[in-house]
Amino acid sequence: MELLSNIECLKNEPLSKHTTYRIGGAVDFMFFPKTNAEVKIIGEFIQKNELPYFVLGNGSNLLAPTEALNGVIINTKKWNIEILEEKHFLKIGAGVLNAKILRYCGEHGLSGLEYLSGVPGTFGGAIYMNAGTRAEWVSEVLESIEIISLKGLERTVEKKDFSFSYRHQSILFADELVSSGFVRLKKVDKDNLKKNLVDMIQKRKRAQPIEMPSCGSVFRNPEGENSWRLIDECGLRGKIIGAAQISPKHSNFIVNLGGATKEDVLSLIQLAKESVKDRFGIDLVEEVKILEMRFLQ
Ligand SMILES: Cc1cc2nc3c(=O)[nH]c(=O)nc-3n(C[C@H](O)[C@H](O)[C@H](O)COP(=O)(O)OP(=O)(O)OC[C@H]3O[C@@H](n4cnc5c(N)ncnc54)[C@H](O)[C@@H]3O)c2cc1C
Q: What is the 3-state secondary structure (H, E, C) of 32-75?
A: CCCCHHHHHHHHHHHHHCCCCEEEECCCCCEECCCCCEEEEEEE
| Spatial CA neighbour of 175 closest among 286, 42, 62, 290 | 42
**Annotation says 287 is catalytic:** yes
The percent of residues in the chain predicted with pLDDT above 70, rounded, is 99
Q: Tell me what pLDDT residue 88 has.
A: 75
For residue 1, the model assigns a pLDDT of: 52
Name the pairing type of β-strands 53-56 and 186-187: unpaired
Instruction: Look at residue 2 and tell me whether its pLDDT is greater than 70.
Output: no
Q: Report residue 226's pLDDT band, with 50, 70 and 90 as the boundaries.
A: very high
Does residue 295 fall inside a structural domain?
A: no
Report the atom number in ligand 1 closest to the C-alpha of 21: 53
Which of 30, 38, 119 most suits a substitution to test ligand 1, by most atoms within 8 Å of the C-beta? 119
Share of the chain above pLDDT 90, in %: 96
At a CB cut-off of 8 Å and minimum separation 6, what does 53 contact? 46, 71, 72, 73, 74, 150, 293, 294, 295, 296
Q: Are 22 and 63 in contact (CB under 8 A)?
A: no
Q: Does residue 294 lie within any of the structural domains? A: no
| Annotated catalytic residue, options 167, 227, 247, 251 | 167
Q: Is residue 142 part of a domain?
A: yes
Per-residue confidence (pLDDT) for residue 73, from 0 to 100? 98
Report which DSSP code applies to 274. Answer: H
Site to substitute for ligand 1 among 15, 36, 54, 61, most atoms within 8 A of C-beta: 61
Overall number of domains in the chain: 3
Q: Are residues 25 and 87 in the same domain?
A: no
To the query of whether residue 167 is one of the catalytic residues in this protein, the response is: yes
Last residue of a domain, one of 205, 236, 265: 205
Q: Backbone phi, then psi, for 277, in 5-degree steps?
A: -65, -45
pTM: 0.97
Neighbours of 6 (CB within 10 A): 11
- Say whether both 42 and 111 belong to one domain: no
Q: Are residues 92 and 194 in the same domain?
A: yes
| Centroid of ligand 1 to alpha carbon of 125 (angstroms) | 5
The one catalytic residue in 217, 227, 247, 251 is 217
Shared domain for 185 and 214, answered yes or no, is no
For residue 26, how far is the Cα from the chain centroid? 20
Identify the residues whose C-beta falls under 6 Å from ligand 1: 20, 55-62, 76, 94, 119-122, 124-126, 128-129, 131-132, 172, 177-178, 208, 210, 214-216, 289
Mean pLDDT of the chain: 96
Question: Backbone phi, then psi, for 24, in 5-degree steps?
Answer: 145, 125
For the CA of 124, the nearest atom of ligand 1:
41
Q: What is the CATH number of the domain that holds 234?
A: 3.90.78.10
The pairing of beta strand 154-158 with beta strand 142-149: antiparallel
CA 1 – ligand 1 centroid, Å: 33
- Residue span of the structural domain in which 107 resides: 83-205
Which of 78, 100, 117 finishes a domain? 78
Domain boundary pick from 205, 229, 250: 205
Angstrom distances, CA of residue 102 to CA of 79, 108, 114, 115, 252:
19, 10, 7, 10, 25
Is residue 297 one of the residues assigned to a domain? no
Q: Would you say residue 3 has pLDDT above 90?
A: no
- Residue type present at position 201: I
Tell how far CA 178 is from the center of its chain. 12
Interval 54-78 mean pLDDT: 98
Which protein residue has the closest C-alpha to ligand 1 atom 10? 131
Let me know if residue 296 belongs to a domain.
Answer: no
CA of 46 to the centre of ligand 1 (A): 24
